[in-house]
Every structure is written in structure tokens, then in C-alpha cells.
Structure 1
């Protein structure tokens, strides 16, 4: 089979940029308006904290989205030896089919993902930088697969991509026997 390359959709990425900007502004508004919204000091502090955390979180998201908009266009490359997944901040590693245990469709909070379980997750985690390792361990504790491939910022069909990955993996398993 020929290598498959899935790219980001510029239009979808631009839409995400707009939404993240809106969330930063909304969080900043909540932070500034806390004294007007709440009438006790406890609630003012709580609302300001929520606004502050929102500004920080959504600003980080916005920076990552803009970086993705300007830099990396490919979010998934699939070939006969494995795949390179770059759909999120905690991804970016080339995974060999030999290291894959299973590939499954996965849905969480209305979002569809391609879930990849590895034969040795610990070995994979040790090869990652500390921040990615910590974030992936949090995902694992929440019951998610080792690798979640998010195709929401692409134009491709989720089912078609899942099927293609499964075919590549099945071909590798047959070749390996």
C-alpha cells in the first residue's frame, strides 16, 4: 500500500484560532468583572481565579493552535512500517507496527479518536520528554489508550482513516508471520 498523509485543514484550524481567542477574551472578561458579578469576597476570589486559570489555559491553547496553523501541516503519516502522529501537543513520535498491540475507534465527549494501544507503554513513555510523559500518564490514568489520534482539524473521514490504519497494521501482521 502507498503511504497515506493526512494534513490539517486550514479552514478548521482558523476556526479553532477564532474560538480560542474568544475563550481567552471571555476568561479575561470574567476575571475583570468578578467584583461586579459576585457580592462576597469569597465568590469574587473564586470567580477571579476561574477567569485567571481560563486566560492561562486558553492562551496556551491559542499559542499551540497558531503554531500548528503556521508550522506543521501533516498530522498523520501512515506507511508499511508504522505511523507518525502529530495531531496534538503530546504526540510526535514515529510508532512501529511491531510496537502496536491494537487499533480501535474511540469516542470521548462527542469527539472521535483513533486509539492505539502499545505492547509496552512504559518503554514508549520513557522515550518522551518529561512534560509529554506526565500528560500521557494522566491520559492513561483516565482510561484512555496510550495514543489518541485526533482528526478534528483535518478534512478526512474518520472511519476511512481508521480502516486504512487497520489495513496497514493487518498487512504488517501477515508479513511478520
Structure 2
């Protein structure tokens, strides 16, 4: 049996618009530093630095979200072989059941994540070609003891339901592994 959990295009569009709003605010900072310098001890360079970081970070997020809007793959695919994660920019791709030792939930900076506890997490970190993605997954590993953290934010399912579905699938499929 196969379970498909689709990406929520409306949630992704909402996050995309939020990222664009932060880019716009950062551009406003950059073009009007005198309005914001008082907040930063009259240091224009601090305003410029924050503006450039904001444009860079939220611009990257906006690009990644824009690509997800047009992605037709399911956010999560669960079958007898394993889990295929396509839920975010840090998606892990295919994770076979035999690589998973547990599925846990954890709150990190006010957001709930499903943590896929791997038997050999270093194998997943080593195979990542993109250095930005590798660094971000290493940070995940330090915070949660796993490089693979899944949020329901971009999915058409609640966090609790996703957690239940994944644990049920792990229980059913770990018997066959």
C-alpha cells in the first residue's frame, strides 16, 4: 500500500508571499537607512548589513518556495520500501525503512518537527552534494540528533496526523525489514 501526502500549494504560496514581504522590508531598510539607524545606535552600516542579509536570506527562501509551488511530486510518499521526503528545500529524498531506528517529534524554536532517527546519520550527510543543504542538515543533526527533520507546514496534513501515519508505517514495515 502507498500513502501520498500532497504539498499544500496554498500554504506554500502564503509562505512565499511572506518571504517576499521580508525582501521588500529589507529593500526599504537598504534604501532608507536614516529612518532605521536610530534603532541601531546611529550605525548606517548595521542597517545596510541587516538589509543585505534580509534580502539574501528571504530572497533565497522565496526562490525555493516558488519552485515548490510548481512541484508536482507528493510532499511525502510512504510505501513498503520506505519514506520519500519532498516536503521542503532540505528534503532527504528516499529513506528506506531499514535505515530508520525511530520516528520522534520535537519542538525546535516554537515549531514542531518530526525527527527521523537514522541508524547511520553520517551516511546521509556524506552523500549530499549541495554544500548549503549539507550545512543545514548538519545543523539539524546537532539540534535534533538527526539530519532529517520534517515539518507539516507545507503539507496537506496536520502535524499530529503526519506523526501518527509515519509511526504506523514504521511499525508495520519494520517487521518486514
Give the alignment's TM-score, normalised by structure 1.
0.90
Structure 1 segments (4+ residues) deviating >6 Å: none
Alpha-carbon distance in structure 2 between the residues aligned to 1:150 and 1:134: 18
Alpha-carbon distance in structure 1 between the residues aligned to 2:36 and 2:123: 50
Aligned to 2:14: 15
Alpha-carbon distance in structure 2 between the residues aligned to 1:80 and 1:47: 52
Task: Indicate whether 1:32 and 2:31 are aligned.
Answer: yes
Alpha-carbon distance in structure 1 between the residues aligned to 2:138 and 2:19: 25
Aligned to 1:165: 166
1:110 Cα deviation from its structure 2 partner: 2.5
Alpha-carbon distance in structure 2 between the residues aligned to 1:143 and 1:9: 25
- Verify the 8 A CA contact 2:92 2:148 in the aligned structure 1: no
Alpha-carbon distance in structure 1 between the residues aligned to 2:99 and 2:62: 33
Task: Indicate whether 1:88 and 2:80 are aligned.
Answer: no
1:4-153 correspondence runs (5 A): 4-38=3-37, 43-131=43-131, 132-153=133-154
Determine helix, strand or coil for the equivalent of 2:75: strand
Deviations 1:132-155 (A, max 9, x none): 222211222234532111111122
In structure 1, stretches of 5+ residues that fail to align are none
Q: Supply the RMSD in Å over aligned alpha carbons.
A: 1.9
Moved more, 13-22 or 50-59: 13-22
Number of aligned positions between the proteins: 175
- Verify the 8 A CA contact 2:12 2:154 in the aligned structure 1: yes
Give the alignment's TM-score, normalised by structure 2.
0.90
